[in-house]
Amino acid sequence: MPDVPLPRSVTARAGTNIALVKYWGKRDAALNLPATGSLSLTLADLGTETRVRFADDAGDASGRDSVMLNGAPADEKVAARVRRLLDLVRARANITLPAEIVSTNSIPTAAGLASSASGFAALTVAACRAAGLTLSPAALSELARRGSGSAARSIFGGFVEMARGERTDGSDAIAHGLLDAGAWDLRLIAAITAVGAKAIGSTEAMDRTARTSPYFAAWKDAVGLDLHAARAALATRDLAALGQVAERSALRMHACAMAAEPPVIYWNAATLAAMRAVTNLRASGVDAYFTIDAGPHVKVLCAPAAAATVETALRAVPGVMQTLVAAPGPGATITEEITEETS
Ligand code: 2P0
């Protein structure tokens, strides 16, 4: 039995994160275990707030968990993924009640940056508390990973490392914080180069890459050195060293995906032009470094003092529709908890 009375309503918020050493490929799809470690920066403001309530009357008309996303019922694929995570939480808490989920992204929806990272991190933290569980950040990270690999990192703030882990049960495939958000103030500027959903979801794309790309083994082999170099750069606050790792990790991930069969190509003309703008900035003495996720947008890491110059340069790139500036942010936290009176 849960050790606190139900029902109650718990709201949690999590920031999205941008990987500087990328996660691409799984060693176990069922437990969602990554093939390699990864390293990321959790962002302030751009994220997800999620309210969870377990109660007899919380389900939809069919008695299933009701899942609202940005003010509308979530599509079936997303709802099914959310329900799978809730099932894990229910099993752990030894409850069978349906849940009501209300989730809102603070990432502009047109930006194409909405991430499963902040969504599943906020859901995990809120659902565990609402179910009466008290879990360590490491245990929350392990659970969030089951929803989405990158979500394991958003449990923590600032710079975060996700371990590949060795165990078959996934208990060591968890993230941990390396540097708090306040320990190194940087800016991440996202250049938005398209609207709408990406061509292929990252789960499917990384599966295809792992199965068919002849470069996948080489990709996996290279990540260890990137993690090592990124940790060293964090320890000495060396932006140039961190930026070089971020660029090569992103390029290798994309090269590996492009070599899949059929190819996974996320870039458009503006993606390439924005990358060129960043290398031109560097040639003119501005320390700025790009990374690209499973989509066509370009994210640029720089010092706060360079952010305005970088943003201006990115806005001048043909095809860049919008820019967003983000700072390092905290890990997932509970923002509201309401215990309802039961009669
Ligand atoms: C990352 N990405 O490290 C990499 C780089 C996208 C490109 O993590 O299948 O949505 O849910 O575990 O976490 C996106 O993959 O994949 C991602 P699942 P997820 O940020």
CA distance 340 to 322: 43
> How many C-beta atoms lie closer than 10 Å to residue 88's C-beta?
15
Residue 3 domain-assigned (yes or no): no
**pLDDT the model gives residue 318:** 98
Instruction: Measure CA of the first residue to CA of the last residue in the chain; give whole Å.
Output: 19
Joined together, the tokens standing for residue 171 give 């208990």
Tell me the mean pLDDT per 10 residues along the chain, length 343: 67 97 97 98 96 95 95 94 98 97 85 82 98 97 97 98 98 98 98 86 95 98 98 98 98 98 97 98 98 96 98 98 96 93 56
Strands (E), 91-244: 99-105, 159-162, 175-179, 187-192
Q: How far is the CA of 24 from the centre of ligand 1 (A)?
A: 7
What is the structure's pLDDT at 264? 97
Task: Mark whether 119 and 224 lie in a shared domain.
Answer: no
What's the CA-to-centroid distance between 193 and ligand 1, angstroms?
Answer: 19
- Ligand 1 center to 202 CA (angstroms): 6
| Total domains present in the chain | 2
Q: How far apart are CA 245 and CA 253, in angstroms?
A: 12
Same-domain pairing of 205 and 302: yes
- 47 & 163 share domain: yes
| Structural domain that includes position 318 | 187-326
Residues 83 and 28 in one domain: yes
Distance 148 CA to ligand 1 centre (A): 7
The three-class DSSP label of residue 308 is helix
Among candidates 291, 213, 218, 294, which has minimal Cα distance to 258? 213
Residue 1 falls within a domain, yes or no? no
Helix (H, G, I), strand (E, B) or coil at 299: strand
The pLDDT of residue 343: 46
> If you measure from the C-alpha of residue 2 to the centroid of ligand 1, how many angstroms do you get, rounded to a whole number?
32
Same domain membership, residue 298 and residue 201 = yes
In a domain, 2, yes or no: no
Same domain, 107 and 56: yes
pLDDT at site 342: 57
**Domain at 222, CATH number:** 3.30.70.890
150 CB within 6 A, ligand 1: yes
Give the tokens for residue 318.
Answer: 């043909």
Q: Is 203 in the pocket of ligand 1 (CB under 6 A)?
A: yes
Q: Contact 14/339 with Cβ under 8 angstroms?
A: no
Query: For residue 181, what is the DSSP state?
Result: G
* Cβ-based neighbours of 233, under 8 Å, separated by 6 or more: 239, 241, 242, 245
Q: Check if 22 has its Cβ closer than 6 Å to any atom of ligand 1.
A: yes
- Please check whether residues 44 and 96 belong to one and the same domain: yes
Q: Indicate which residue's Cα is closest to atom 14 of ligand 1.
A: 202
What tokens were used for 76? 């079936």
Are 139 and 213 contained in the same domain?
Answer: no
What is the structure's pLDDT at 195?
87
Query: For atom 7 of ligand 1, which residue has the closest CA?
Result: 293
Packing angle between helix 239-258 and helix 202-212, nearest 10 degrees?
Answer: 70
How is residue 150 written in tokens?
């990158």
Please report the pLDDT score of residue 37 as a whole number.
Answer: 98
Q: Is 116 in the pocket of ligand 1 (CB under 6 A)?
A: yes
What separation in Å is there between the alpha carbon of 151 and the centre of ligand 1? 8
Specify the length of the chain in residues: 343
To the nearest whole number, what is the mean pLDDT of the chain? 95
The DSSP bridge partners found for residue 52 are 10, 101
Question: Domain check: are 107 and 83 in the same one?
Answer: yes
- In a shared domain, residues 204 and 104: no
The answer to whether residues 255 and 215 touch, using CB atoms and an 8 Å cutoff, is yes
Distance between CA atoms of 281 and 234, rounded to whole angstroms? Answer: 22
Q: Using alpha carbons only, what angle is made at residue 30 by residues 128 and 24, rounded to the nearest 5 degrees?
A: 95
CATH number (domain holding residue 94): 3.30.230.10
For CA atoms 300, 303, 306, 308, the dihedral sign is: positive
How many angstroms separate the CA atoms of 154 and 305, rounded?
26
Asked if 14 and 148 sit in the same domain, the reply is yes
Shared-domain flag, residues 275 and 207: yes
Ligand 1 touching residue 17 (CB < 6 A): no
Residue 225 lies in a domain: yes
| Side chain identity, residue 199 | A
> What's the confidence (pLDDT) of residue 115?
75
Q: Dihedrals φ, ψ of 243, to 5°?
A: -65, -40
